[in-house]
Amino acid sequence: QKLYASLLATADVFCATAVGSGASKVLNMVDFPIVLLDEAAMCTEPVSLIPLMKGAQHATLIGDHKQLPAVVTSKEARRERLHTSLFERLLQSGTVNSTLLDTQYRMRPAISSFPNDSFYQGALRDASILDGGANPTSSPTIEGEPFPVSFVAHSSPESTHRQSLLNRGESDLLITIVGDLLAANPDLVASDIGIISPYYAQMRLVSNSFSSGYASARLGQLLDPDRAASVVDVEVNTVDGFQGREKRVVLLSTVRSNKGGWIGFLNDKRRLNVALTRARDALIVVGNEQTLR
């Protein structure tokens, strides 16, 4: 205890999770007069209060309530609005001063345009560097044409897998697209590419296709051996797992392909916002146009 007290006495800044700030025996010995709570829109209100109950005299909550909220599965808790973060509730009430960081530095304007209009009511601005200022990175090309945003259509049917969904035809199409990208863009490396999907089963299917060597074998005739082997570096994850992340090129695997027009997770505006805002230079949405329309 004396050693901990000595170490803590010399520190000015402490980094911890919101829960860890109150659950740690070490941090229980410290009060925090100034609290900066990052990703506050993803915290339930009780979780947000943990660091604030330790002597906070000033608190700054940082987050985006237009993106994924905290995961609350209890129907009773949702009825009591525990899925609404303290961050969002304070914004809605207007009882505290708030500031919008309105300049985005990640995406090309062609990528940010739809999310800006659809989710942020046009409040965001694109940094000048992305409008052709100080040496922006080049947008990848196919057949010599740049494509910051594109849609690749198919009609391969979806299928259920346990309690999730997948689309095998779409998974094979993703491999083809990755091969075309790497063949057409020598400066693009596999680790620059991310593939995301709202469905866990699809994420596992696509991830296994790349990690097992199946994708490398399929692309062996299109790419040289080293480039074909490198596709194991393509990162595959769920949309939720990619929040806060970015890649130069992102492929969005939508999965849904049915006659009823059921789109499932894609109907969640917050999840869709995350999915459409991970790419820096190129976003490729892959799906069944008739279902998604």
Among residues 5, 27, 7, 8, which one has the least CA distance to residue 18?
27
To the question of pTM greater than 0.85 for the whole model, the response is yes
> 251 and 109: one domain?
yes
pLDDT recorded at residue 137? 56
> 277 and 240: one domain?
yes
Q: Which residues contact 288 (CB under 8 A, 6 or more apart)?
A: 153, 154, 155, 156, 254, 256, 257, 258
Residue 139, domain CATH: 3.40.50.300
Given a contact cutoff of 8 angstroms between Cβ atoms, the answer to whether 195 and 238 are in contact is no
pLDDT recorded at residue 134? 44
pLDDT tens digits, residue range 38-52?
Answer: 999 999 999 999 999
**Boundary-marking domain end, from 43, 72, 99:** 99
> 225 and 281: one domain?
yes
**CA 1 centroid distance within chain:** 41
Among residues 217, 220, 212, which one has the least CA distance to residue 183?
220
> 68 and 137: one domain?
no
Whole-angstrom Cα distance, residue 95 to residue 98?
A: 9
pLDDT recorded at residue 136? 45
Given a contact cutoff of 8 angstroms between Cβ atoms, the answer to whether 109 and 131 are in contact is yes
Q: Which residues of the chain have pLDDT under 70?
A: 128-138, 142-144
145-156 in b/e form (b: 16+ CB < 10 A) is eebbbeeeeeeb
232-255 in b/e form (b: 16+ CB < 10 A) is eebbbbbbbebbeeebbbbbbbbb
Domain region containing 119: 104-291
Q: What is the largest CA-CA distance in the chain?
A: 67
Count up the domains in the chain and report the number. 2
User: For residue 211, what is the enclosing H or E element?
Assistant: helix 200-211
Phi first, then psi: give them for residue 236, nearest 5 degrees: -120, 130
